[in-house]
Amino acid sequence: MGERLGYIRISSADQNTARQLDGVKLDQVFTDRLSGKDIQRPELNNLLRFARRGDTVLVHSLDRLARNLSDLQRLVSELTGRGVRVEFVKEGLAFDGSDSAMSVLLLSVMGAFAEFERSLIRERQREGIELAKKKGVYKGRKPKLNAAQVLVIRERLAAGEKKAVIARKLGISRETLYRHLSATPAPPP
């Protein structure tokens, strides 16, 4: 009998993982604090490398594993193809590679509903932002850097420090650094 491996995904660091797989006995848990927009997630990759024939991967619900049907089908197929059982607790679905036509249909239908639901959420979010912009209420996300920080970055760049090093030290991506540099005019010499 293999190990029982849990996979938990929350979209942001301030969300709580407690409701997922609560009370389920697990040997090991892999937790990502990232969007499910794609399958490039560190802990998901660790789970995929770790899972062995005879193991069972338990996930709270389909949308925690993948946000679109093709990713969901690919992940379930990859795991079950290696002899790993995949269970979705909320939906009560389990897959082990010897799945019936009905099981495959249920995965497809439930996965399509999860993808559809995510599309509706994004659509409502866009509509809400547009409405807030029209009312002049929408402020957008708070900038990662302020003008004083950008000025210090410019000084460090002038001193020969590399952009990638600066970004890493500040805990931001290089893209964020580039965006702030181009959006904030350089002071006159």
Secondary structure (3-state) at 41: coil
Give the torsion through C-alpha atoms of 92, 95, 96, 100, to 10 deg.
110
Rounded to whole angstroms, the Cα distance separating 25 from 15 reads 22
Say whether 24 sits in a helix, a strand or coil.
coil
Residue 11 known to be catalytic: yes
d(CA 94, CA 106) in angstroms, rounded, equals 10
One of 11, 61, 77, 103 is an active-site residue; which one?
A: 11
Q: Is 71 left (phi over 0), alpha (psi -120 to 50) or beta?
A: alpha
Residue 159 three-state SS: coil
Residues with catalytic roles: 11
